[in-house]
Structure 1
Amino acid sequence: MSVLVLGGLLFFSVNIGAGIAWLVAKIFHHSDEGLALLCGGFLVGLLALDIIPSAFHLYNSAGIVLGILIGYMFLLLVNKSFHSSSQSKSSVYLLTIALFIHTIPLSLTIGNLLGDSSFALSMATSTILHHIPEGFAITSIFIAQGQKMIGLFLCFIGLSICFSFFIWVGNHIHLTMKVQSVLLGVSIGLIALTSVKEFILHNIRVVSIRTSVTFVLTGYFLSVFFHLMS
């Protein structure tokens, strides 16, 4: 299976996630804060059920912890660089960067297996299922914060190009497991801190506690659904 085909499958899968997010947003269209809380709960569930267990099972634990610390320091620098009026934009950028970085270790692994035709079907299936939740998450926060949809489209294009490029890299160049572990840790740190600080804590003060809990739990149970589906 070629690099371009796999990149196209990723683009297809994130658009499926975007469509699901659009339907959910229609249901909660009266509350942008609620949609942000839902996205925060979804990302927490995605980390707890899928990303973190897989990371510590497959990659170097020390490298992951180091990456999380780097992600935390990067977040502090970004928060100091952006004025409060631009905080919502910065959170979108941080989540986008985190998802780009999260794609790299998976891409490198696929690149290493690219020459084995017996993995073609499983690679295609995992590419589609693994990235539907990412498309859902990034679309939800774009809608909640009123970002232009052209930005979302460019994000999906960029994600597909990044995915394809690092598959090619994995097929030609070997990156050590420690380097991949650090990259994965950075993405975990950014996703975790952004989802909790920017999407949950920032919006929980705007709506009632009961409403906040409802939206966060709804997002979490959506992540459970995606986890079971994959």
Structure 2
Amino acid sequence: MSTLVLGGLLFLSVNLGAGIAWLVAKLFGKSNEGLALLCGGFLVGLLVLDIIPSAIQTYKSTGISIGILIGFLFLIFVNKFLFSSEQHSSSVYLLIIALFIHTIPLSLTIGNLLGNSSFVLTISTSTILHHIPEGFALTSIFLAQGQKIIGLFLSFIALSVCFCLFIWIGHHISLGIRAQSILLGISIGLIALTSLKEFILHNIRKVSLMESAIFVLTGYLFSVVFHVMF
């Protein structure tokens, strides 16, 4: 299976996630704070149920820890020097960066297996299912912050291009397990801190405590559904 076909499958999967997020947004009306809280709960669930267990099982814990620290320092730098506290749209960019980085280890692994025909079906299925939650999360926060949909569409295209690029790199160049561990750790750190700080803590005081709990718990339950189904 070619790299371009796999990139196309990723683009379709994130758009499927976007469609699900759009339907959910319709259910919650125009509650932007609610959508942000839901996205935060969803991302926390995604980390707890999928990303962190997979990372611990596959990669070196030392590299992951170093990556999380780098992600934390990067977030401090971004918030202090690149964006003021009023520019909460920075959370969109941080999430996009985190998901781009999160795609790299998977892309490299697929690149290494690309020549093995016995893995074609497994790779195709994994590519489609693995990125539906990413499309859901990105779309939820774009809608919550009133960002232009063209930006979301361009992000999906860029994510697909990044995916193709690192599949090609993985097919021709071997990147050590330690380097992949650090990249995944950076992704985990950025997703975790962005979810808690930008999506949950920033919005939790804008609605009642009961509503906040319901939105966050609903987002987490959505991640459970994704985990079971996909």
Q: Distance in 1 between matches of 2:190 and 2:32?
A: 22
* Structure 1 segments (4+ residues) deviating >2 Å: none
Q: Distance in 2 between matches of 1:227 and 1:85?
A: 34
1:15 aligned partner, one-letter code: N
**Which residue matches 1:164?**
164
Q: Distance in 2 between matches of 1:93 and 1:108?
A: 23
> By how many angstroms is 1:218 displaced?
0.3
Q: Count how many residue pairs are aligned between Structure 1 and Structure 2.
A: 229
Q: Distance in 1 between matches of 2:201 and 2:194?
A: 10
**Which residue matches 1:84?**
85
Local SS of the residue matching 1:84: coil
Q: Distance in 1 between matches of 2:129 and 2:35?
A: 23
1:137 aligned partner, one-letter code: A
Q: Distance in 2 between matches of 1:27 and 1:52?
A: 30
Q: Can you give the 5+ residue segments of structure 1 that lack an aligned partner in the other structure?
A: none
Deviation digits for residues 149-201 of structure 1 (CA, Å, limit 9, x no counterpart): 11000000000000000000000000000000000000000000000000000
**Which residue matches 1:110?**
110
Deviation digits for residues 119-160 of structure 1 (CA, Å, limit 9, x no counterpart): 101101000000000000000000000000110000000000
Q: Distance in 2 between matches of 1:89 and 1:219?
A: 20
Q: Distance in 2 between matches of 1:130 and 1:30?
A: 28
Q: Distance in 2 between matches of 1:84 and 1:41?
A: 22
2:55 aligned partner, one-letter code: A
**Which residue matches 2:16?**
16
Identity among equivalent positions (%) equals 74
**Which residue matches 1:25?**
25
> By how many angstroms is 1:85 displaced?
2.3
1:56 aligned partner, one-letter code: I
Matched, 1:135 2:135: yes
**Which residue matches 1:65?**
65
> By how many angstroms is 1:29 displaced?
1.9
Q: Distance in 2 between matches of 1:227 and 1:127?
A: 15
Q: Distance in 2 between matches of 1:183 and 1:96?
A: 14
RMSD: 0.5
Deviation digits for residues 89-146 of structure 1 (CA, Å, limit 9, x no counterpart): 1100000000000000000000000000111011010000000000000000000000
> By how many angstroms is 1:30 displaced?
2.6
> By how many angstroms is 1:213 displaced?
0.4
Task: Using structure 2 for the length normalisation, give the TM-score.
Answer: 0.99
Task: Using structure 1 for the length normalisation, give the TM-score.
Answer: 0.99
**Which residue matches 2:54?**
54
Q: Distance in 2 between matches of 1:60 and 1:84?
A: 35
**Which residue matches 2:214?**
214
**Which residue matches 2:187?**
187
**Which residue matches 1:175?**
175
What does residue range 145-160 of structure 1 map to in structure 2 within 5 Å?
145-160=145-160
Q: Distance in 1 between matches of 2:62 and 2:94?
A: 23
Q: Distance in 2 between matches of 1:84 and 1:145?
A: 15
Q: Distance in 1 between matches of 2:48 and 2:84?
A: 31
Q: Distance in 2 between matches of 1:90 and 1:30?
A: 21
